[in-house]
Amino acid sequence: MFDGLVLLGQGIGHFLTPEGIFNVIWATLLGLAIGILPGLTATMGVALLVTLTYGMETSQAILTLMSVYLGSIFGGSRTAILLNIPGTPASAATSLDGYPLAQQGRAGLAMGLATTSSTLGTLVGIFFLALLAPLLTEVALNFGTYEFFWLAVFGVVISGQLSGSDTPIKGYVTGILGLLAATVGMESLHAYQRFTFGIPQLGAGIDIIPAMVGAFGLAEILSQIKRQPTLLTRTVTDRVVPTLKEVFQYWKTIIRSGVIGTFVGIIPGVGEDVGAWSSYAAAKRFSKKPQEFGKGSQEGLIAAETGNNAVVSGAMIPTLTLALPGSAAAAVLIAAMYIHGVRPGPMLMIENAPFLYQVVGMLLLATLANLVFGLTLTKLFIKIVSIPQDRLMAVIAVLCVVGSFAITQRMFDVYVMLGFGVIGFLLREMRYPMAPLVLGIVLGDLLDSNLRRGLGLTNGDWTPFFTRPISLVLFLIVAVTIVLSIPPISRGLGRLLANLTRRKTVTEPSVPDGPRPKE
**Least confident piece of the model among 23-37, 264-278, 327-341:** 264-278
Roughly what angle, to the nearest 10 degrees, separates helices 251-266 and 298-322?
Answer: 30
Q: How remote is the C-alpha of 312 from its chain's centroid?
A: 6
pLDDT, residue 47, reads 81
How far, in Å, CA of 83 to CA of 92, rounded?
12
How far, in Å, CA of 320 to CA of 347, rounded?
10
How far, in Å, CA of 273 to CA of 320, rounded?
21
Is 515 domain-assigned? no
CA distances from 169 to 118, 162, 437, 476, 477 (A): 33, 11, 13, 19, 17
Is 509 domain-assigned? no
Is 398 domain-assigned? yes
Contacts of 439 (CB under 8 A, 6+ apart): 155, 156, 159, 162, 175, 178, 325, 331, 334
Picking from 387, 63, 397, the residue whose alpha carbon sits closest to that of residue 221 is: 397
Contact 69, 331 (CB under 8 A): no
Residues 258-292: tens digit of each pLDDT:
998 888 888 765 667 778 888 888 888 888 888 88
pLDDT, residue 225, reads 77
How far, in Å, CA of 443 to CA of 466, rounded?
20
Roughly what angle, to the nearest 10 degrees, separates helices 2-13 and 107-140?
Answer: 130
Bridge partners (DSSP) of residue 335 are none
Q: Does 51 have pLDDT greater than 80?
A: no
pLDDT, residue 146, reads 85
Q: Which residue range forms the structural domain that includes residue 377?
A: 2-502
Contact 328, 433 (CB under 8 A): yes
Is 100 domain-assigned? yes
The total number of structural domains in the chain stands at 1
Is 161 domain-assigned? yes
Is 265 domain-assigned? yes
pLDDT, residue 27, reads 92
pLDDT, residue 407, reads 67
When the pLDDT of each residue in the chain is averaged and rounded to a whole number, the result is 80
Amino acid at 129: L
Is 445 domain-assigned? yes
Q: What's the mean pLDDT in 501-518? A: 52
Q: Is 364 exposed, middle or buried (0-12, 13-18, 19+ CB in 10 A)?
A: buried
DSSP 3-state assignment of 186?
Answer: strand
Q: Is the pTM of this model over 0.85?
A: no
Residues 201-228: tens digit of each pLDDT:
888 788 877 887 888 778 878 887 776 5
**Least confident piece of the model among 151-160, 216-225, 294-303, 343-352:** 151-160
pLDDT, residue 49, reads 84
Is 516 domain-assigned? no
Residues 385-443: tens digit of each pLDDT:
666 767 777 877 887 888 788 767 788 888 988 999 999 899 888 888 777 787 788 77
Contact 378, 114 (CB under 8 A): no
